[in-house]
Structure 1
Amino acid sequence: MRVLVDATAIPAELRGVGRYLDNVLPALAAAGVEVTAVAQARDREHFEDLGVGCVPDVAVPAGRAARLAWEQVGLPAVAARVAPDILHSPHYTHPLRWRGPLAVTVHDGTFFSDPQWHTRSKGPFFRAATRLAVRRADVCIVPAQATADELHRRLGLEPDRVQVAHLGVDTALFTPPDAEAKARARAAAGLEPDEEFVAFLGTLEPRKNVPALIRGWVSACARIDGRPPALVLAGGAGWDSEVDAAAAAAPAHLRLLRPGYLPLAELPGLLGAAAVVAYPSLGEGFGLPVLEAMACGAAVLTTRRLALPEVGGEAVAYTEPDDASIADALGWLLADPGLREQLGQAGLARAAGFSWAACAQAHLRAYEDALRRCGLEGRR
């Protein structure tokens, strides 16, 4: 089977769609799929190092608006030249002029269920893109059943046109870190050697509920005898306007560190060294930081919102997303090292059930479904 994947939407800092494609495309190639990526010039060598071929001599313009315009005009021309069995658009949008078999990945249904979490520009844009994908794609790929259910409830997406492909975890990278990896990550985050800390990893956007985490951490620290743990907020700056105010209101004797975007190689050390990895999100299409923290042997605290229980199962601790509940849950976990150890071991065992190879197989089933709908089954 020959699949052309539009990888031109990947930002310079690997988040979301970039992490997804970096892992699923090599897994598809390893499964025998002939994968070709359309990528920006800066990313071609990177994909080729991963064993994924790229279409040569494709000039993708810089800037979001210009790239989207190119997607509508340039991508169909590239696809016509490559002549794949199926085109995969992995980030909501797709070229309207493409008339061949089409798969589109829709990562999240919260643009419909909770539009207040998104910016005024992103919300309407991604709602429109998702409506078009649901209407025009031969198959929609989603990372969780919760997202499939949301698209069915909001947009009437038929169950036979959706394929759930749980994301995976790279256990060669995300694994319980050794002392050196922990020390390196501590230094990158600005922590002192052996300083206990609570870690958060993710873009600081409203749905991540970081202001409530900060206030809950402050309350939990007030109940602790001895040195209170630091709070490390790692990840992109995002657009949550309340984070700065919540951080400024924290007592001066508490250590709140904001190292920003950390290199991928430092994340296992950070997650595995944390006393607790707290991810009190209001809702996720999947929740990759939860899975990656589990794979590092961390005790994870999250919520039961949307897809997060599909990831955490019974291997994580749960909280309601309000300040007081987060404070109670953090206090309970920080006071019980034995419980944290149990959660870490349970998380390791559960994370082992999520692999990029299984995610690739789900994509392959989606491609086959799309070809079958187009009367082109058997191209494998």
Structure 2
Amino acid sequence: MSASRNLIYDSRWISPTGIGRFASELGDRLPCLHHQAIGGSPTSPLDCLRLGWMLWNTDRAFFSPGFNVPLTSPMLAKRSFVFTIHDLIYVNHPAEASLAKRLYCQHVIRPAARRAYKVLTVSEFSKREIVDWARIDPSQIEVVYNGVGSAFTHAGPKHDLHRPYLLYVGNQRPHKNVGGLLHAFAQICGTRDVDLAITGQATAETVATMEKLAIAGRVHFLGKLSDDQLAAAYRGAQATVLASEYEGFGLPVIESMACGTPVVCSNVTSLPEVAGDAAVLVETHPDSIAAGIRRVLEDPTLQQTLIAAGLNRAADFSWEATAAKVLQVLQPLTVAATQSVPTLIQPLEASVK
């Protein structure tokens, strides 16, 4: 009988981000993962060299909850690996990536998707994008989705801004369309008694937009929040708004729904897939965003319908289900006899053509 072996797990990804939550939840639930000290940063373009050398000196397979992979060659490649591409933001929005990251996507991640034992992703939308970009068979990619953390429940304390508020959760990078949300909010706040709360701190661009629109006094920045604080912020909001131009999944959609708060989100990329019929879907321009927000604020019946539908939709996503899907992919690699996949190894030069 073959002995069971733990997989090397890249726990460096654990952080208060979407990928970090994915990494943390899997690390807590899968005992087959060995949290080995690796050093360095998983987002460094040179990390592929560190991982390649590490795998050359071990008999274990490797699993990353993020997009970092070992750089292999016909001479060095001998261990199986699984990694996760949550989205193709650096490919589809190159202005948000450095030259080094763009080169890393093209010459490291793309060929690695063809050499990997499996590639994980978090939505059918992302899977289709990866298949087209990497030119690989759909069977090479497994959709495992994200889940809702235990802190995000309907019952619990509510954040109090002393005024009704809308909530945006996320960073302020261009693809998040915070500028579009601010312009939409400017159309609303003159006639509605509602403010806007945003997690994190304001960027210089966000401050400039607020000042231009004369809404700075109506927008509040909540800073860095724990899960319990974030759940309270969701519960206290009139609605959560995610007007992104691009998402690979969209965790705030299901977290807000799980907390019993209506959601207004964009009708692009992964968001319709994740939201189902439990959100008000809008286009990404300010007029449509504002119209969607008004629908929710002005219609109590719609609010109750969205709350009920959202709770049901959020129940479809759990970290236990995600972990079970990931384990199903990783299980063959935990057997000592399954160490290499030479038929999947291709020279780097050939795989980037």
TM-score by length of 1: 0.79
Q: CA deviation at 1:127?
A: 4.1
Match of 1:28 in 2: 30
Match of 2:69 in 1: 94
Distance 1:311 1:352 in 2: 12
Stretches of structure 2 lacking an aligned partner (at least 5 in a row): 343-353
Match of 1:42 in 2: none
2:222 counterpart SS class: strand
Matched, 1:251 2:253: no
Matches within 5 A, 1:105-144: 105-144=84-123
Q: Please, what is the CA RMSD of the aligned residues?
A: 2.7
CA 246–317 in structure 1, closer or farther in 2 if over 3 Å, else same? same
Matched, 1:206 2:169: no
Match of 1:148 in 2: 127
Partner letter of residue 107 of structure 1?
Answer: H
- Identical amino acids, percent of aligned pairs: 26
Matches within 5 A, 1:222-371: 222-224=190-192, 228-235=193-200, 242-251=205-214, 254-368=217-331
Partner letter of residue 189 of structure 2?
Answer: C
Q: CA deviation at 1:369?
A: 6.9
CA 74–352 in structure 1, closer or farther in 2 if over 3 Å, else same? same
Distance 2:111 2:216 in 1: 51
Distance 1:21 1:210 in 2: 26
Partner letter of residue 229 of structure 1?
Answer: V
Match of 1:41 in 2: none
Moved more, 139-148 or 361-370: 361-370
Q: Looking at both structures, which has the greater relative contact order when contacts are Cα pairs under 8 Å and sequence separation is at least 6?
A: 2
Partner letter of residue 116 of structure 1?
Answer: A
CA offsets, 1:187-241, max 9 Å, x none?
Answer: xxxx22xx100000001111110011011011022333xxx2110111366xx76
Q: CA deviation at 1:345?
A: 1.4
Q: CA deviation at 1:349?
A: 0.6
* C-alpha contact 2:49 2:70 (8 A) present in aligned 1: no
Match of 2:349 in 1: none
Matches within 5 A, 1:140-179: 140-170=119-149, 172-178=150-156
Q: CA deviation at 1:6?
A: 1.1
Moved more, 94-103 or 310-319: 94-103
* C-alpha contact 2:148 2:258 (8 A) present in aligned 1: yes
CA 122–290 in structure 1, closer or farther in 2 if over 3 Å, else same? farther
Identify the match of residue 11 of structure 2 among 7, 14, 32.
Answer: 7
Distance 1:63 1:102 in 2: 15
Partner letter of residue 55 of structure 2?
Answer: P
Distance 1:140 1:69 in 2: 16
Match of 2:51 in 1: 72
CA 135–253 in structure 1, closer or farther in 2 if over 3 Å, else same? closer
Q: CA deviation at 1:146?
A: 0.6
Distance 2:140 2:190 in 1: 51
Stretches of structure 1 lacking an aligned partner (at least 5 in a row): 39-57, 376-380
Distance 1:252 1:4 in 2: 49
TM-score by length of 2: 0.85
* C-alpha contact 2:122 2:145 (8 A) present in aligned 1: yes
Q: CA deviation at 1:252?
A: 5.1
Match of 2:18 in 1: 16
* C-alpha contact 1:133 1:140 (8 A) present in aligned 2: no
2:241 counterpart SS class: strand
Distance 1:208 1:315 in 2: 21
Q: CA deviation at 1:314?
A: 0.2
Distance 1:199 1:280 in 2: 11
CA 373–285 in structure 1, closer or farther in 2 if over 3 Å, else same? farther
CA offsets, 1:151-187, max 9 Å, x none?
Answer: 11122121111101111112x3100143xx21xx33x
* C-alpha contact 1:71 1:94 (8 A) present in aligned 2: no
CA offsets, 1:254-306, max 9 Å, x none?
Answer: 51011222222201100111001000011111111111111111100001211
* C-alpha contact 2:201 2:222 (8 A) present in aligned 1: no
Figure out how many residues of one structure are paired with residues of the other and give that number.
330
Moved more, 250-259 or 153-162: 250-259
CA 294–118 in structure 1, closer or farther in 2 if over 3 Å, else same? farther
2:12 counterpart SS class: coil
